[in-house]
Amino acid sequence: MQRVLIAICFLATCVSIADAQRPGRRGFRAFVEDRGRWLIDLEEVRKELSVDEQQAELLDALQEDLTNQRRAIQEEEFGPRSADDSVQRLQAEALHNSLAAFDRRSEELIAVVLEPKQASRLTELYLQRDGIRALDRPGIVSKLELSDEQKQRLQSLRESLVEIRPRRSSWDEAQRLIREKEQAGLKELLNEEQQNRWQQLLGKPFEFPASWPRFR
């Protein structure tokens, strides 16, 4: 069974990387900096999910492969860099979207190694980690039944968060400000029923390590 599972995981990752769009270049490194670890790599998360030794072995091998693939997408050259700032932003956004799509596929592969209950809890942790970015995940907006007006307000909130630019010297402070603004913004955006649904999707609160970066 273990050999079969390993084969399934790595076959799927090979297909995943072959299908991924690769519009990246080194000039965009700061925009989509790879933080170096998957959420499931955190010891605290594995403990929360009760990951056993066999699962840990599989996850370690899978994550190493996924990390190398993600880095290859991020660092691959893709033609000359435009001198037009607006074009640069579009290129950076395209790379960001490509990496986000790769991350979603990677999460699906990681879930293969887990039991259904573990995978469900990990999904809750993804939502807690992502904050307002979790609403970009497929199905979340529909589950909350956001109106068109709420979607517009959500976009405005996202744009306001971009203005808080984390710097190495004040990374913790930037994270704190973004969390506070996210929470306040979502509380104002969602009605009572939607807030209840959101809390259900998040599940039991999880205390992430202070060193874990939420910006991805």
Report pLDDT digits (tens) over 2-53.
544 554 555 454 444 444 444 333 333 333 344 445 799 899 999 999 999 9
Q: Which helix (H) or strand (E) holds 106?
A: helix 85-113
pLDDT at position 5 is: 53
Cβ neighbour number for residue 196 with a 10 Å cutoff:
11
Inter-residue contact 201 to 140 (CB < 8 Å)? yes
CA Rg, the chain, in Å? 18
- pLDDT of 105-125, one tens digit each? 999 999 999 999 999 999 999
pLDDT at position 175 is: 74
Q: pTM here?
A: 0.75
Q: In this prediction, what percent of the chain has a pLDDT beyond 70?
A: 72
Is the pLDDT reported for residue 181 higher than 50? yes
- pLDDT of 133-159, one tens digit each? 888 887 898 999 999 999 999 988 888
Q: Could you give phi then psi for residue 145, rounded to 5 degrees?
A: 55, 55
Is the pLDDT reported for residue 91 higher than 60? yes
Nearest to 104 by CA among 66, 78, 131, 132: 66
> CA-to-CA distance for 39 and 143, rounded, in angstroms?
24
Written as six digits, the tokens of 175 are: 């994270």
Choice between 37 and 59, residue whose per-residue pLDDT is larger: 59
Taking CA atoms, 39 is separated from 123, 128, 162, 201, in Å, by: 11, 11, 23, 18
Alpha carbon dihedral 36, 70, 181, 202, in 10-degree steps, equals -90
> CA-to-CA distance for 144 and 102, rounded, in angstroms?
25
